[in-house]
Amino acid sequence: MANVIGGYDDNLIGGYGTGAGVAPAAMASGSTGFLAATLGYFRGNASRSIRMESTGNLRAYPDNLQRPAPGGTGTVDARTTVGRSVTLRASERIGHEPFFSVFSAGASDAPLPAGIGETSTATGLFQRRSHSSHTSVSLDRIWSQRDSTSLSYSYREQQFTDAAHGDNNAQEVLTEYWRRLARGVRVRAAYRYADREFTDYEGTARPTREHRIEGGPEIETALSRRRHLAVALAAGATSVESIGGISRNLYHAWVPVGSARVTLGLSPAWSLEGGYRRGFNLLQGITDEVYTTDTGFLTTRGRVTSRAQLQVAATYSNGRTSLVPGSDNKFRVYGASLQVNVPLTASIAATARYLYYHHRYSTAGALPAGFPAVYDRHAVGIGLTMWVPLVGTGSSSPLLPR
């Protein structure tokens, strides 16, 4: 599969209220380009399977970078059943990928937080390169017609090639238990342990540990022959232990957490999904503090004609450093996207997309020098997606409406 996309980035009000000690920077708008090619292989059946993918890509910002920035990833996913009740899964992902900064020229070159999504252009735009890996294994078991469990472990690591700041690693253990109460109704209980470490601006490796316990109902029901509803609710508490970025003192706190997810099948062609989650985030490269965050999203997708597919999504997130003694920094993030795909043949589809992103931080002095406390971005792109089966049985094209 291959993607070729060209477009334009219009950064409207970026530069208002930059980080401490730096005058506001004018964000540069300009053209963008993206090229990616993926080679995939799948072999398997309902009992066991293996999937391998290798992707290479180029990102171009002609008005800001002298040459396109290359990147690449490789992924392996394997699954097998042991007897009738046990399923074992394992995956590995490795990558060599660029990170871009919206910092003004000469400012610190730490990475953007994961929530920003696609790369952002700015005056003095430059890139950092990193090596990353993500390993995960899970064991699922059905104990009876009513009871099932899942146990999983994951480890991820990211190392930058130019300097140590921003390097990070994390390992997580998740155990889940489900009990079926009635047809389409079950309850879930889960415990998650996360141990994370990242290297801050002073070159210190700072740990963050989290224990999360939660549980709640999961319901699936048919509203009619063409409509269905799925609801998952959870509530619990999280224990967070970390080191303050300013005080360098160890702190510990218990905080209520929760999540909700609703999926509504409006018709065979349309669906609507929304969700909310309360948790904690460490915005690596932006601040050294742990933020209590509330995040919500809403997505709808479907066919607007017999062939054209539309997807519209919106997200909102806010956070504050309420756990850190003597700190009360806040942020808000808005995002929206619209994408239209139109198959031209069984192997080629045209795509057009629009992206909006906005963030606002309350305390510019808590940000790295040069990072904008207010940033507003609009981007548009159009291109082609191509899919060609090389070997094996003629599976249906993923580009055609279903």
Which pLDDT score is estimated for 122? 34
Separation of alpha carbons 239 and 280, rounded Å: 10
- What token pair was written down for 118? 């696609």
Which pLDDT score is estimated for 1? 87
- Domains of the chain (ranges; CATH) run 2-386 (2.40.160)
- DSSP annotation string for 110-132: PPPPGGG-S----TT--EEEEEE
Q: How far is CA 250 from CA 169, 240, 287, 298, 350, in A?
A: 19, 11, 17, 37, 53
Question: Do 310 and 340 meet the contact criterion of CB atoms below 8 Å apart?
Answer: yes
Report the percent of the chain where pLDDT is more than 70: 78
Q: Which positions of the chain have pLDDT values less than 70?
A: 11-28, 64-65, 99-127, 201, 244-248, 282-288, 322-327, 368-371, 391-402
Listed in sequence order, the residues at least 6 apart from 243 whose beta carbon sits closer than 8 Å to its beta carbon are: 206, 207, 249, 250, 251
Which pLDDT score is estimated for 21? 39
Question: Do 277 and 295 meet the contact criterion of CB atoms below 8 Å apart?
Answer: yes
Which pLDDT score is estimated for 390? 76
Angle made by CA atoms 117, 118, 122, in degrees to the nearest 5: 115
What residue type is 266 in one-letter code? L
pTM: 0.79
Which pLDDT score is estimated for 399? 66
The separation between CA 348 and the C-alpha centre of its own chain, rounded to angstroms, equals 27
Longest dimension (CA), the chain: 65
Which pLDDT score is estimated for 218? 97
